[in-house]
């Protein structure tokens, strides 16, 4: 039988590379590693890469293995999921991986301006009806820009046609330089060791025959950000509940 949530939380409280900070404490004391992650935690001068909404942290750990000369931090609000990546990286003795349990909306409390080089968004909920919660909306671009280096990069890997189309339009509207863009990653020449890391959610979408989309762009400074003004077809399978989704054979 697998570990229950409570014992995972007990483990996480002991892990030296997992940070969980109640909001009241953040407000009162601030986060001591803000602006000092490299110097005080990773003990190097390597770039910092975040995986936002990391779930079990497959990208955080997978990239950590591929790039020992970069530092990776997985961020999610759900601790029981994060436990898997935290445990794996600890047992493997990885010194370039950490996890932070918090709401993405609070990242400015944890990172200083320019402290982050890259952000990965791995299979975020497309939030088709809530622009405000969509992790590639201009609201979040503004937030990411505050912690990213001037040439900071954002990666989005998604199953969602809606999320992919919205993001490509948002990128176009704001003239962000595109470094890579494919609507069908695994049938394109782009699928290298990095992009072939598969997350828990990704596996499920692949089993359902859904193409994986990927876009990488530079989140440059802009005086004003423009929300794309287009109608996007909704993902039909996402209107199903979980049990009906499993009956889905294939779609976009």
Ligand X SMILES: C[S@@+](CC[C@H](N)C(=O)[O-])C[C@H]1O[C@@H](n2cnc3c(N)ncnc32)[C@H](O)[C@@H]1O
Q: Does 193 bind ligand X (CB under 6 A)?
A: no
Query: Applying CB under 6 A, what is the total number of residues that bind ligand X?
Result: 18
Which candidate in 10, 69, 125, 181 is catalytic?
A: 125
- Distance in angstroms (rounded) separating the CA atoms of residues 14 and 9: 9
For position 244 contacting ligand X by CB under 6 A, the verdict is no
Which residues, 6 or more positions from 90, have their beta carbon under 8 angstroms from its beta carbon? Answer: 15, 16, 17
Is residue 149 within 8 A of residue 81, CB to CB? The reply is no
The span of 64-72, 161-169, 178-186, 197-205 binding ligand X (CB under 6 A) equals 197-205
Among 31, 72, 123, 237, binds ligand X (CB under 6 A): 123
168 Cβ contact partners less than 8 Å away, ≥ 6 residues apart: 181, 215
- Over the window 205 to 234, marking each residue x when it contacts ligand X by CB under 6 A and - when it does not, the resulting string is ------------------------------
Is position 122 an interface residue for ligand X (rule: CB under 6 A)? Answer: yes
By CB under 6 A, is residue 103 in contact with ligand X? yes
Residue among 36 and 78 whose Cβ is closer to ligand X: 78
Q: Which of 10, 39, 105, 193 binds ligand X (CB under 6 A)?
A: 105
d(CA 184, CA 189): 10
**Per-residue CA distances from 2 to 5, 7, 54, 55, 180 (Å):** 9, 10, 21, 17, 39
The single residue among 66, 77, 230, 236 that binds ligand X, judged by CB under 6 A, is 77
Of 136 and 199, CB closest to ligand X: 199
Instruction: Give catalytic status of residue 125 as yes or no.
Output: yes
- Reading the block at residue 93, the tokens are 């003795």
CB of 210 to ligand X, least distance (A): 13
Half-sphere exposure of 218 (CA within 13 A, CB side): 10
Half-sphere exposure of 182 (CA within 13 A, CB side): 14
Q: Is 155 exposed, middle or buried (0-12, 13-18, 19+ CB in 10 A)?
A: buried
Residues in 39-68 that interact with ligand X by CB under 6 A: 53-55
Q: Where along the sequence are the contacts to ligand X (CB under 6 A)?
A: 53-55, 76-78, 81, 103-105, 122-125, 199-202
Catalytic residues: 125
């Amino acid at each position: 039988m697998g570990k229950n949530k409570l014992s995972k939380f007990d483990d996480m409280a002991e892990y030296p590379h997992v940070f969980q900070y109640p909001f009241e404490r953040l407000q009162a004391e601030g986060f001591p590693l803000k602006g000092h992650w490299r110097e005080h935690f990773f003990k190097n001068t390597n770039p910092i890469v975040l995986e936002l909404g990391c779930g079990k942290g497959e990208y955080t750990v997978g990239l950590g293995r591929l790039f020992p000369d970069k530092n990776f931090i997985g961020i999610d609000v759900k601790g029981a999921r994060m436990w898997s990546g935290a445990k794996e990286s600890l047992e493997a003795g990885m010194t370039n991986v950490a996890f932070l349990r918090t709401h993405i909306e609070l990242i400015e409390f944890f990172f200083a301006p320019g402290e982050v080089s890259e952000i990965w968004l791995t299979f975020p909920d497309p939030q088709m009806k809530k622009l405000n919660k969509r992790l590639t909306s201009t609201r979040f671009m503004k937030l990411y820009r505050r912690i990213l280096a001037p040439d900071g990069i954002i990666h989005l890997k998604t199953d969602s046609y809606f999320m992919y189309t919205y993001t490509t339009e948002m990128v176009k509207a704001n003239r962000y330089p595109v470094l890579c863009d494919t609507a069908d990653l695994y049938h394109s020449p782009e699928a290298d060791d990095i992009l072939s890391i598969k997350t828990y959610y990704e596996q499920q979408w692949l089993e359902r025959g859904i193409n994986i989309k990927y876009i990488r762009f530079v989140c440059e400074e802009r005086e004003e950000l423009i929300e794309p003004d287009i109608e996007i077809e909704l993902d039909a399978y996402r209107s199903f509940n979980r049990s009906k989704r499993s009956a889905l054979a294939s779609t976009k």
